[in-house]
Structure 1
Amino acid sequence: MVTRRDMRDAKRLRSRRIRAILAGGLVLGVGGAATLAAWNDSEYGAATFTSGSFDIVGSTTGTGTFTNHPVGSQAALSFTAPFSGMAPGNTVYALFSVKTSASSVKGNVQVTAGTTGGTGLAPSMTYGVKTIAGTTCDSGAYAGGTVVVADGTALTAGAASAQALLAAGGNQINYCFAVTLKSDAPNTAQGLTAIQTWILLGTST
């Protein structure tokens, strides 16, 4: 006959066995995790980056040596006659060519108006600019060029758009400037002078 005491003893024995099994499992689990290992290997990539530079150079002839013309050392544009004795309605022409230097990155260049000086002739003058295929800037070449600044523009205004320049002098832009003394210039404009500076503003892209 099984007594209550026997049942209690059997229950305590089962409980001890379960605890022993659980404890053994925990010990085995910890031991297993501690002995696991993985081999590993890595590959690394690196690069050195260096910035480029942007530089445009210009020429008043479009041939030969192109050089820098910073502020204070502006290129003297060679206008056709009669730039030193203009009469109302006269138009004179001058070339200015630009490109990037041999070590330059690519970019854009835009004709902008710089300073206007002299003794007061500038308000009686207008100008236009076209790009031309060759380096001869005269009335014929100008007539066949592509408009950059529309004829009749005041000296104080610049171009609305820019032209693309390839890197390392990959292309040359020949600008033909046409400056006109208005046909209705007043008598008071006689004997006056105008000193105009244009800026060919280059920007890297």
Structure 2
Amino acid sequence: MTPRRWRLRRARAVLACGLVLGIGVSSTLAAWNDSEYGGATFTAGTFNIQGATDGATFSQHATAPAAATLSFAVPAVASAMSPGDAVYALFSVKTVNPSMAGAVQLRANASNNAGLGAYLTYSVRTISQTTCNAANFAAGTALAGLAAGSPLTVGSTSTQALSANGANQVNYCFEVTLPAGTPTAAQGTTLTAAWEFTATSG
């Protein structure tokens, strides 16, 4: 074999080795891999309301036995009403902190027509102040379904907005009246009335 032919075979052999080596490197690169992960933690929010009879001292009254006692103005009149008398009381509602936002609706107890309740009428309005009297009631915003002279068993058909985390409060001003012309059969009767403020998150 001539030296020239021998060198050519050797060059071809080196080239062949280079091709094999290149295939091996390509196979190794294809085996590399990597991953990324995404995740999150989820927690349910809370919704809760509280009430106050003075517009400032809020606490929770979550059951009928724990109901707040409305402080009607002129207690002497409220405890011995005569035909034509009207008395007023405040009840304020807001969300606790923390709490999501929602809406609240006034509902009346079906047993509010017992005893003196058969003769009494009422209405409720929202007011911007925390003093509930005849003047502020007259300037307030009426609740749908609660016109003057409504029976105590009738609730409101509208809702009032509650901001999250107690950022606002809704002040309800109650006006309860013993109408003029109430018969003498009402004398000496009593009533322990109850209303519920049902709230829904939203």
Please tell me the TM-score bracket, short chain as reference. Answer: 0.7 to 0.9
1:184: Cα distance to partner?
A: 2.5
Matches within 5 A, 1:53-202: 53-63=46-56, 65-71=57-63, 72-81=65-74, 82-116=77-111, 120-148=115-143, 149-202=146-199
Q: Which amino acid letter does the alignment assign opposite residue 147 of structure 2?
A: A
**Going by fraction, where is helix more abundant, 1 or 2?**
2
Residue among 22, 41, 45 paired with 1:52 = 45
Tell me if the contact between 2:113 and 2:153 (Cα under 8 Å) persists in the aligned partners: no
Q: Indicate conservation of the 8 Å contact 2:113/2:152, yes or no.
A: no
Q: 1:91-131 deviations in whole A, cap 9, x for unaligned?
A: 10000011000111111111000253686111101110000
Alpha-carbon distance between aligned partners in 1 of 2:148 and 2:35, rounded to the nearest angstrom: 67
SS across alignment from 2:51: strand
CA 1:115/1:76 → structure 2, altered by over 3 Å: closer, same or farther? farther
Q: CA–CA distance in 2 between the matches of 1:59 and 1:107?
A: 18
User: Kindly, what percent of the aligned residue pairs are identical?
Assistant: 50
- Structure 2: which 5+ residue stretches go unaligned? 1-26
Q: Alpha-carbon deviation of 1:43?
A: 2.4
How many residues were matched structurally? 170
Say which one has the larger Rg: 1
Higher strand share: 1
- In the aligned structure 2, how far is the partner of 1:83 from the partner of 1:48? 54
Q: Which amino acid counterpart does residue 57 of structure 1 have in structure 2?
A: Q
How far off its partner does 1:47 sit?
Answer: 0.6
- Quick one: distance in 1 between partners of 2:114 and 2:161? 36
Q: 1:119 to 1:44 in 2, by over 3 A?
A: closer
Render the CA deviation track for 1:144-201: whole Å, top value 9, x for unaligned: 0000132111111100011010110010111000001122211100111111000011
Equivalent position to 2:36, from 35, 43, 59 = 43
Deviations 1:51-97 (A, max 9, x none): 1111101110002x310012211111000121111111211000001
Relative to structure 1, the CA distance from residue 164 to residue 119 in structure 2 (aligned partners, 3 Å threshold; closer, same or farther) is: closer
Letter in 2 for 1:159: S
SS of 2:147's equivalent? strand
Question: TM-score, normalized by length of structure 2?
Answer: 0.79
- Matches of 2:61 and 2:50 in 1, distance apart? 7
Letter in 1 for 2:49: I
C-alpha separation in 1, matches of 2:51 and 2:134:
22
